[in-house]
């Protein structure tokens, strides 16, 4: 990812699934869900900011380009390129089923990682990570 966390607890939280946290009796705030919600918003801000900086000013076009640039498939592909699934703390059932092979699961993991980067290093750090891992949105 090209980022070193100052607060390693944020990284661990970003990689901890709710099922794992429940199975281990961890603190209710020890899992990734809130970070995934935050990361989703941060990704949107970074993408919109880059589109505006590149000269796009039409609200509808910005929204369309953001939607095309950032979606479950794109985020999942980025997570797969980083082999995120090998670092996540999966619940037993999730691991047995290989939940990361379908649906939105890996995209949520990617969002959680970006949320953690944002909390640790701010919006500029999140933007640098997204650029480094290959998220590109052009007008």
Question: Where do the structural domains in the chain lie, given as residue ranges?
Answer: 8-133
Calpha distance 119→7 (Å, rounded): 9
How much is the pTM? 0.94
Angle at CA 11, nearest 5°, toward 15 and 8? 145
Instruction: Enumerate the β-bridge partners of residue 16.
Output: 89
Write down the pLDDT at residue 138. 64
Write down the pLDDT at residue 103. 72
Calpha distance 77→85 (Å, rounded): 12
Annotated active-site positions, please?
40, 111
Residue-wise pLDDT for 53-63, tens only, equals 999 999 999 99
Write down the pLDDT at residue 131. 94
So what CATH class is 8-133? mainly alpha
């Amino acid at each position: 990812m090209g980022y070193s966390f100052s607060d390693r607890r944020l990284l661990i939280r970003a990689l901890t699934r709710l099922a794992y946290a429940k199975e281990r009796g961890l603190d209710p705030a020890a899992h990734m869900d809130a970070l995934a919600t935050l990361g989703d918003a941060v990704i949107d801000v970074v993408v919109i900011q880059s589109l505006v900086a590149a000269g796009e000013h039409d609200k509808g076009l910005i929204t369309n380009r953001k939607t095309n640039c950032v979606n479950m498939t794109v985020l999942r592909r980025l997570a797969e390129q980083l082999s995120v699934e090998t670092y996540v703390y999966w619940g037993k059932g999730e691991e047995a089923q290989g939940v990361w092979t379908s649906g939105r699961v890996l995209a949520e993991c990617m969002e959680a990682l970006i949320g953690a980067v944002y909390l640790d290093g701010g919006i500029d750090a999140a933007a640098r990570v997204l650029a480094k891992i290959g998220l590109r949105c052009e007008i």
